[in-house]
Amino acid sequence: MGLRVLTRHIKIDLLAEKGDICELLFSQKRAQRACRLFLSYLKENGGCTRSEMNRFAWDLQAGKIDPSFKYSRRRFYGMLRRTLMTLGLIAIKSRFVGSSGPGLAPERSRKKEVVDKYVPVRQPIQKRPPDGLNLVRLAWVICKRWNDEFVGAASS
């Protein structure tokens, strides 16, 4: 086996070993941790409005979400939100909310049926990964991990 083939197998194995989606998307540990906190927030609430994301960013900067961890609001918007939006992993979609408004932000407490929310987007991918070690395979792995994180085993 040649050196080139050996390094290719090692890279594929390393790609398969990554723990979660945050480790694939971000190389810095602080960004990974902030991404995990944000994704768990998205899972708990099923999405968030712009004002809820703003409040989350301020709380993350103040250390209210995790007392041992602070992450600046500017980096949150510039790195995390922009990366997730650019890759199409989250999107702003109109969602129906009941008129009583238990999930609405305080400024939206009036009767409102449809609210724009940041929601995770299910990625349409094939069941089998593409061959080789290339950009298409990396995109497939990212989308597969994203679907496993938010959709569960139903996407496989």
pLDDT tens digits in sequence order for the chain, 156 residues long: 555 665 566 566 656 666 788 888 888 999 999 999 999 999 998 889 999 999 999 999 999 999 999 999 999 999 999 999 999 999 998 877 665 555 556 555 555 678 889 999 999 999 998 887 777 888 888 888 889 888 764 433
In a domain, 144, yes or no: yes
- On whether residue 135 sits in a domain, the answer given is yes
User: Looking at the domain assignment, is residue 29 inside a domain?
Assistant: yes
Taking residue 119's Cβ as centre, other Cβ atoms within 10 Å add up to 18
Q: Is residue 95 part of a domain?
A: yes
Residue 4 Ramachandran class (φ > 0 left, ψ -120 to 50 alpha, else beta): alpha
For the chain, how many structural domains are there in total?
1
Measure the CA–CA gap between 145 and 37, rounded to whole angstroms: 17
Residue 155 lies in a domain: no
Determine the structural domain holding residue 49 and report its residue range.
3-150
Structural domain includes residue 156? no
**Backbone angles phi and psi of 11, in degrees to 5:** -65, -40
Residue 97 forms part of a structural domain: yes
Could you tell me the end-to-end alpha-carbon distance of the chain, in angstroms, rounded to an integer?
33
